[in-house]
């Protein structure tokens, strides 16, 4: 198949495919007239790349999976290098989850404090004054 058909089937653009080719992720074979040709294996490579990118992997992190497929494995994630990328990504995600949990706890404490302050001011107390609006000319 030609580059346009591969792009359409993979749900991407020919520009993206050329970029992947320039990065060494997508091999291009050339016909006698110079047109790029691809096959179903190339479509599988693209599906692997796109799936990983949808999961938050950067393009370089997809390389071991692509190489695993190119080596003839039925799945791109069964090679040692692919497994190592999975492990690193899980460590990265665990770290992000920890950071987000900490931020969430801080926001929850701030909300609780602000709600208590709002309740203390509300029942019959004076209207709060905004200091920014006061001018002494």
Query: What domain count does the chain have?
Result: 1
pLDDT in tens, 53-91: 999 999 999 999 999 999 999 999 999 999 999 999 999
Q: Is 70 left (phi over 0), alpha (psi -120 to 50) or beta?
A: alpha
Proportion of the chain above pLDDT 90, given as a percent: 78
In a domain, 92, yes or no: yes
Query: What average pLDDT is seen over the chain?
Result: 90
Distance of CA 86 to the CA centre of its chain: 14
In a domain, 62, yes or no: yes
Range of the domain at 7: 3-119
CA distances from 20 to 23, 42, 80 (A): 5, 11, 23
What does the alpha-carbon distance between residue 4 and residue 18 come to, in Å, rounded to a whole number?
11
In a domain, 98, yes or no: yes
What does pTM read for this prediction? 0.74
Q: Which residue has the tokens 């050339």?
A: 30
In a domain, 132, yes or no: no
Under 8 Å between Cβ of 17 and 26: yes
In a domain, 53, yes or no: yes
Q: What is the CATH number of the domain that holds 73?
A: 1.10.1660.10
In a domain, 128, yes or no: no
């Amino acid at each position: 198949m030609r580059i346009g058909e591969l792009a359409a089937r993979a749900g991407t653009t020919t520009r993206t495919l050329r970029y992947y080719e320039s990065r060494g992720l997508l091999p291009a074979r050339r016909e006698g007239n110079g047109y790029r040709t691809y096959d179903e294996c190339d479509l599988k490579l693209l599906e692997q790349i796109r799936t990983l990118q949808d999961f938050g992997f950067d393009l370089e992190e997809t390389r071991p999976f692509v190489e695993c497929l190119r080596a003839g494995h039925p799945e791109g994630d069964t090679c040692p290098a692919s497994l190592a990328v999975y492990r690193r990504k899980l460590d990265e995600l665990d770290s992000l989850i920890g950071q987000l949990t900490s931020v969430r706890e801080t926001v929850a404490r701030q909300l609780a404090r602000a709600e208590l302050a709002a309740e203390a001011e509300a029942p019959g107390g004076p209207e709060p004054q905004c200091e920014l609006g006061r001018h002494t000319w």
